[in-house]
Amino acid sequence: MSTRTILITGATQGLGRGIARDLAAKGHTLLLHGRDRARLEAVTAELAEVAPEASVRTYLADLSDLDQVRAMAARIREAEPRLDGLVNNAVAGGGAEPLRREFSRQGHELRFAVNHLAPYVLVRDLLPLLTASAPARVVNVASIGQEAIDFDDVMLERGYEGLRAYCRSKLAMIMATFELAAELDGTGVTVNTLHPAHLMDTEGVRAYGLTPVVGVEEGVRPTVRLLLDPELASTTGRYFDRFTDARAHDQAYDVEARKRLMELTLRLLGPA
């Protein structure tokens, strides 16, 4: 398999870190995103030990600030000659204080911003590099936890709860995946999404007070498969439950709901 250049968001811990270790061992060039410089340096040092030959570059940004997302994308476009894969893995989970409503830098509900708006902006801003590098793959790490979006209260101003916000934001990510896949059909850039594993041993799962069921390696394998498996080279616009091509929440297949979501998304993003 030829060496690929792959960007992983949220690469300093949990699933992202596990994916980085797996891909580094396979010899791929890694672009690692994180919001904490010390953690980025730590994971880079770790990869140097387990895969000394791996090429690793880091990009710092807080995905709760769309200005930082756009600035990171610009730095990547300027510095990187190609981009063969993008794993949108960074996540805002249910939170340690799930009844406390949090906000992004632009004033949007935090989970909707980090889990949907930020990865959507990142894909859009990196499309010139992805298409120039085609065939290229985008993998959006979603969740089996999905809840219908209430378009009268997208930001959950009523009845807020962190896990509910998380589940709605992950469905938004899935719906955007389907829209992007249709738009990019024929460009050589595929866009798929998956639930990687159930209750992995991650900081987010523990912070919410849940008990992990499996290690992160269980989520690494299906995610890396979507990135690298030759048999999935032309697969796009699909939702996977781990290794199985599955059906997401019914709202994800509602064309009118997807249209409303994308119109809202573009309004919230404002001028690029």
Task: State the catalytic residues.
Answer: 166
d(CA 173, CA 193): 8
d(CA 31, CA 33): 7
Token reading at 124: 């859009």
d(CA 162, CA 155): 11
Element (H, E) at 44: helix 37-50
Q: How many CB atoms lie within 10 A of CB 202?
A: 23
d(CA 16, CA 22): 10
Strand-by-strand arrangement of the 244-246 sheet:
56-60, 29-34, 5-8, 85-88, 136-141, 189-195, 239-241, 244-246
Token reading at 246: 């599955």
Q: Is the dihedral of CA 44, 50, 56, 60 positive or negative?
A: negative
d(CA 224, CA 75): 25
